[in-house]
Structure 1
């Protein structure tokens, strides 16, 4: 297959590109605008491969998208290009509207025109895979809402049938793009699939997100900011497990279906930060525990309290399971950041110095 991957220089996108090039015989056309979060250094392990090509293109640029489709003639699209940081969406929502909604619409229309020109056999085999987030569902009941009872697995999970209830400009823009993708299937017959994933973590993650931010701040002796009480619960998914799941969906998933992808790792933010500190205490010991750097700051506006994915459908229908536990994945992540300080410095130069956004 020839797979067009949008946002392939981003965190999840680059993991998908690396997975495809290293573990399959498929080719990748990486289409990325290279915003602050896109970095070609994340692809140095594959960028010399003859099955990989990069095109610096904005998904809002219809003419350039049409050119890419005409030139490369892909068999599938994996659409990961998106603005994704909730705090940034609170500070400046316009980029999220433009990229996530207008960009997805533009990509759908360019794809539809290309798809309409294919043979009937090629049209039937083609796939448009839209990668989204569990945040479109809003939030779930929290154990603290259950009369103080200790968390148990009887609390509800997000399923593929959960109603949408986005809380932030980011999640609202992703919900909108999900609806557009499904409408292009219903109205025009474009063969689309949607996946909604839980919080990803792992190597090459831009350090505005919780785990890389905490790792780098801890190493530099800076405060480790905890929003509110730190009791917000997220389901953590190792990015390489997610990449495997996404490739499985685009190759064997069924048109018109939605698949929820989660890591089966519900953790409170405070627990995540303390676990990072404990691992760093072993790997890079110092006189005082890293947990002494934890500070509590004003919570994010409209902060969802709990996300949790039911990934039964992925397991039962597509035979996918995460390979990493949270403990093994987090240790691998920390070890990667310790070994790749130069990458960390490069991605922040002139763009972001881990300042607080979204206040």
Structure 2
């Protein structure tokens, strides 16, 4: 795999994967990204120009995708609209990118015979009860609850159909919630970190009991590379790092890092249809492909992430006021 195309490679988890490729492989990487509000040129700007190039474009642009895919040995498909709150306000971009965009990419891959890995989310499975001893596995039925998760579920099913009907050489991974560098500050962890950096108070949906299974973006990247290089075609692998924490615990850990009292936060209006708990069983990935996370300690990964946002204030500062104004308008 000398030439790899990464869709959405200027976004949060996509750019982390591009950094991983540059550090751990000799591959040349082409990033195709629409550069919407959640992406940034800065996230890949420091990478060597002879290894990484950027094409600004829409994955739903069929001629563009056919040209790019034909020039590469493999495609890793990160591009997606992914913010639940935004999908509730306007589902149309989620249908366009997550469904039509994935269809366009699949047709390009089918035509070129190129290897594809499709990035998805654990949110396609719906949610679990807080006291449920079970975790999501590859055989868990899909039960999405938002326009975001339903369009991601639809994109997964498209990939599966193209594998079965047309012999497309593809794999799928469903990952738990990511955190780490370059994540837009509308997201839960960077929003709370930047609030505290500004001397403000974190904002907690409802009682803060909703549980997410957190994984550092570096660990997600290493898992994706493992699947791309050694995964079985047509298979789905769940990626998780045993990082279950409820939102209240995460807020308290952020406050503790800054030496603030554990109750120094505000309760805000809960999100509509807020899923209770996500939990990933990544046994298949670990036993079949031998993968394991580097950041097995969530507290260490969170501390590294806080330090990154402290060191990169110039990147997130221009967006902070607008993000907080948008949340304030919704009572959040």
Q: SS of the residue aligned with 2:32?
A: strand
Q: SS of the residue aligned with 1:28?
A: strand
CA displacement at 1:222 relative to structure 2: 2.8
Give the aligned length.
328
Deviations 1:37-89 (A, max 9, x none): 1101011231x34121111110011122122234xx21111000000010111
Q: Distance in 2 between matches of 1:57 and 1:198?
A: 27
1:156 aligns with 2:157: no
> 1:142-181, aligned counterparts within 5 Å?
142-143=130-131, 155-181=133-159
RMSD over aligned CA atoms reads 1.6
1:100 aligns with 2:98: yes
CA displacement at 1:351 relative to structure 2: 6.3
1:335 aligns with 2:307: yes
- Distance 1:247-1:40 versus aligned 2 partners, 3 A rule: same
Q: Distance in 1 between matches of 2:198 and 2:130?
A: 33
Partner of 1:23: 24
Q: Distance in 2 between matches of 1:196 and 1:222?
A: 34
Contact between 1:127 and 1:255, CA under 8 Å: does it hold in 2? no
Partner of 2:286: 315
Q: Distance in 1 between matches of 2:66 and 2:9?
A: 18
CA displacement at 1:350 relative to structure 2: 9.0
Q: SS of the residue aligned with 1:355?
A: helix
Q: Distance in 2 between matches of 1:5 and 1:249?
A: 15
Partner of 1:221: 199
Partner of 1:123: none
Q: Distance in 1 between matches of 2:277 and 2:317?
A: 32
CA displacement at 1:113 relative to structure 2: 1.5
Q: SS of the residue aligned with 2:215?
A: strand
Q: Distance in 1 between matches of 2:126 and 2:16?
A: 26
In the alignment, structure 2 segments of 5+ residues that lack a partner are none
In the alignment, structure 1 segments of 5+ residues that lack a partner are 116-125, 147-154, 282-288
Partner of 2:46: 45
Match of 1:303 among 261, 274, 284: 274
Contact between 1:213 and 1:354, CA under 8 Å: does it hold in 2? no
Kindly report structure 1 stretches of 4+ aligned residues shifted beyond 6 Å. Answer: none
- Taking structure 1 as the reference length, the TM-score comes to 0.88
- Distance 1:218-1:350 versus aligned 2 partners, 3 A rule: closer
Partner of 1:135: 123
Partner of 1:118: none
Q: Distance in 2 between matches of 1:6 and 1:358?
A: 32
CA displacement at 1:290 relative to structure 2: 5.4
Contact between 2:252 and 2:263, CA under 8 Å: does it hold in 1? no
CA displacement at 1:203 relative to structure 2: 0.9
Contact between 1:90 and 1:358, CA under 8 Å: does it hold in 2? no
Partner of 1:151: none
- Taking structure 2 as the reference length, the TM-score comes to 0.95
Partner of 1:201: 179
Q: SS of the residue aligned with 2:241?
A: coil
CA displacement at 1:27 relative to structure 2: 1.4
